[in-house]
Chain A
Amino acid sequence: MKPELPYFEDLALGESPPDLIVGPLTTAHLMRWSSSTENWHKIHYDRPFSIEHDKLPDLLIHGSFKQQFLFRHLMGWLGANGWVWKVNFQFRAMNKVGETIRVWGRITELERKADYGLAHLEIGIENEAGLQSTPGSAVVAVRYKDGPPIAYPFVPPVS
């Protein structure tokens, strides 16, 4: 059964959306992403090049691939009741092929606006060893229980 979509009134500081678990991410997953975006950087599919030439520990999961999951995580949580407006992140550490990643978030601020509420979140990606590779933040718009649907295309708050 699908979880009920949250309204702004359901949110509380310190609470977390359900984690998104992705993986293990194999060479096939990495190659599929490379191919779909025509990204031929060898460090994602050519192991001898990655290790022997570029002196990396293994094939690396693309940063461009990881950022997709930051959006998927928040969009899956909010569904039609919200809009993922801003996502900021830093690539601080490498994730290697074969890892399973946990995409997480935590609400740090709640703001009421005229037509919807804004939830600010701390977000990140963690591997099985607890390495936080991609810390960041996000701002999402969330519908009020007695409010209108979020306008589409998204209209940012006035102030």
Chain B
Amino acid sequence: MSRFNDEVRSYVGRSSEVIKACDPVEKGAVRRYAQAIMDDDPSYGVEGIEPGGASIAPPLFPAFMFRRPLNTPDPLTERALDPDFDGLSLAINTGLPDLPLHGMALLNGGAEIEFYRHARHGEWVTQQSRYSDIYERQSSKGPMIIVVTETMYRNTDGDLLLCVRQINIRR
């Protein structure tokens, strides 16, 4: 039976607060990220494309800055003996209310990304998310609910860095 109903649909348009990443854009974090994606662009180190030669981060870096701050519960320790713990509870927190779809699997369906500006080393980044669309689609495995979450990443001057429309599949 489909779980898609008016209550689920009523979440469309709901927004999170503006959330500030727990750390600024750190030189070492940028280096590790750039090395992980095997991109040795010198702009990520000492030379920059920005006026004044500021060093920058790879384009999608801001989307991966929203991590668990110090002095918050550690799920890896709390659930260390849980054989069903998949580690995913540490996923990036959008600040949005949970949808009433408990028990349904969550699959990453893809994304639509618009890129405007690199984050600079030392700058702080914020995110704000909203449910931009929720709809049902039939698949060969039965009905599935498509949840589109739009997140805007900005620096603290309000300049837009990235807009990511994440498409998640619930079934």
State the A residues within 8 Å of B (CB): 22, 29, 32-33, 35-43, 46, 49, 53-54, 63-65, 67-69, 71-72, 75, 80, 83-91, 134, 136, 152-154
Kindly report which residue of chain B lies nearest to residue A64, judged by CB atoms. B64
Kindly report which residue of chain A lies nearest to residue B49, judged by CB atoms. A152
In the assembled complex, B112 has its CB within 8 A of some CB on chain A: yes
What is the CA–CA distance of A75 and B43 in the complex, to the nearest angstrom? Answer: 13
State the B residues within 8 Å of A (CB): 29, 32-33, 35-39, 49-50, 58-60, 64, 67-68, 76, 83-84, 86-88, 90-91, 107-117, 159, 167
* Structural contact, A39 and B49, CB atoms closer than 8 A: no
> For A43, what are the chain B residues with a Cβ–Cβ distance below 8 Å?
86
Separation in Å of the A76 CB from the closest CB of chain B?
A: 8
* Structural contact, A32 and B115, CB atoms closer than 8 A: no
What is the CA–CA distance of A91 and B32 in the complex, to the nearest angstrom? Answer: 25
Which residue among A22, A36, A41 has the maximum number of chain B CB atoms within 10 Å of its CB? A36
What is the CA–CA distance of A11 and B5 in the complex, to the nearest angstrom? Answer: 48
8 Å CB contact of B32 from A36, A54, A83 = A36
Q: List 16 A-B contacts (CB under 8 A).
A: A32-B32, A32-B36, A33-B36, A36-B29, A36-B64, A37-B36, A38-B90, A53-B86, A65-B37, A72-B37, A75-B59, A88-B113, A90-B110, A91-B108, A153-B117, A154-B116
* Structural contact, B83 and A53, CB atoms closer than 8 A: yes
* Structural contact, B111 and A88, CB atoms closer than 8 A: yes
What is the CA–CA distance of A35 and B28 in the complex, to the nearest angstrom? Answer: 13
> For A89, what are the chain B residues with a Cβ–Cβ distance below 8 Å?
110-111
Separation in Å of the A126 CB from the closest CB of chain B?
A: 16
Separation in Å of the A88 CB from the closest CB of chain B?
A: 4
> For A35, what are the chain B residues with a Cβ–Cβ distance below 8 Å?
32, 36
> For B49, what are the chain A residues with a Cβ–Cβ distance below 8 Å?
80, 152
Separation in Å of the B51 CB from the closest CB of chain A?
A: 8
For the complex of A and B, the 9 pairs showing the least CB-CB separation, nearest first, are: A153-B117, A90-B110, A40-B87, A36-B36, A68-B37, A88-B112, A36-B32, A37-B64, A42-B87
Separation in Å of the B156 CB from the closest CB of chain A?
A: 15
Separation in Å of the A109 CB from the closest CB of chain B?
A: 17
What is the CA–CA distance of A42 and B89 in the complex, to the nearest angstrom? Answer: 11
Instruction: Given contact pairs A36-B35, A65-B36, A71-B58, enumerate 7 new A-B contacts (beta carbons under 8 Å).
Output: A54-B86, A68-B37, A68-B39, A71-B115, A85-B115, A152-B117, A153-B159
Separation in Å of the B102 CB from the closest CB of chain A?
A: 19
What is the CA–CA distance of A43 and B38 in the complex, to the nearest angstrom? Answer: 22
8 Å CB contact of A49 from B33, B86, B90 = B86
8 Å CB contact of B110 from A33, A36, A39, A136 = A136
Known: A37-B33, A39-B90, A53-B84. A71 touches B60 (CB 8 A): yes
What is the CA–CA distance of A49 and B83 in the complex, to the nearest angstrom? Answer: 9
Kindly report which residue of chain B lies nearest to residue A40, judged by CB atoms. B87
Separation in Å of the B3 CB from the closest CB of chain A?
A: 22
